[in-house]
Amino acid sequence: MTLPATIFLALRYLRPQKTFVSVITVISVIGVTLGVMVLILVISVMTGFDLELRQKVLGLNSHLTITGFGPLENWETIKKRVDARPGVEGCAPFIVGPVLAKHRGRVFTPYLKGVDPNLEGRVSRLPEYVVEGAFDLSKDQVLVGREMARRQGIFVGDRLIVYSPRSFETNRVAQLPSSMAVSGIFESGMFEYDYGFIYCSLEAAQDLYDLGDAVHGLAVMSHGLEQVESVQRDLNKTLQPPLRANTWMELNRRLFAAVAVEKNVMFFILFFIIIVAAFGIMSTLITVTVQKHREIGILKALGATPREVLQVFLAQGIAVGILGTGLGLTLGLSLLHYRNEFLDFLRKTTGFELFPREVYHFDQLPAATSLRDVILICGGALVICALAGLLPAWRAAALKPSRAMREL
Model confidence over 86-106: pLDDT tens digits?
999 999 999 999 998 999 888
Mark which of 234, 251, 268 sits at the end of a domain: 251
Beta strand 141-145 pairing with 180-186: parallel
Which of the residue ranges 13-17, 225-229, 297-301 would you say has the lowest mean pLDDT? 13-17
Region 259-280: what's the mean pLDDT? 79
Lowest mean pLDDT among 63-67, 192-196, 316-320: 316-320
Q: Is residue 136 domain-shared with residue 164, that is, in the same domain?
A: yes
Same domain flag for 245 and 126:
yes
Shared-domain flag, residues 66 and 111? yes
Q: Radius of gyration (Cα) for the chain, nearest Å?
A: 32
Using an 8 Å Cβ cutoff, are 64 and 246 in contact? Answer: yes
- Contact predicate 385/32, CB 8 Å: yes
Q: Which domain holds residue 244?
A: 62-251
For 116-171, write each residue's pLDDT tens digit: 999 999 999 999 999 999 999 987 899 999 999 999 999 999 999 988 776 555 55
Residues 352 and 377 in one domain: yes
Q: Count Cβ neighbours within 10 Å for each residue of 324-357 and write b for 16 or more, e otherwise.
A: bbebbbebbeebbeebeeebeeeeeeeeeeeeee
Query: Do both 242 and 266 map to the same domain?
Result: no
Q: Indicate the average pLDDT of the chain.
A: 82
Q: Are residues 37 and 94 in the same domain?
A: no
**232 plus 210 within the same structural domain:** yes
Domain count, the chain: 2
Q: What are the tens digits of pLDDT across the range 301-315? A: 666 677 777 777 777
- Indicate if 235 and 101 belong to the same structural domain: yes
How confident is the model at residue 267, as a pLDDT?
Answer: 81
What dihedral angle (degrees, nearest 10) is formed by the CA atoms of 110, 114, 117, 120?
Answer: -90
How large is the average pLDDT for residues 204-226?
90
**pTM higher than 0.75:** no
One domain for residues 73 and 27: no
Same domain, 51 and 160: no
Instruction: Give the helix/strand (H/E) hosting 282.
Output: helix 253-291
Render pLDDT for 28-44 as a digit per residue (tens, 0 to 9): 788 888 888 988 988 89
Q: Is 69 found in the same domain as 38?
A: no
Do 145 and 39 share a structural domain? no
* Final residue belonging to a domain, choices 223, 251, 279: 251
Q: Given 251, 270, 301, which residue is the final one in a domain?
A: 251
Express as a percent the part of the chain with pLDDT over 90. 29
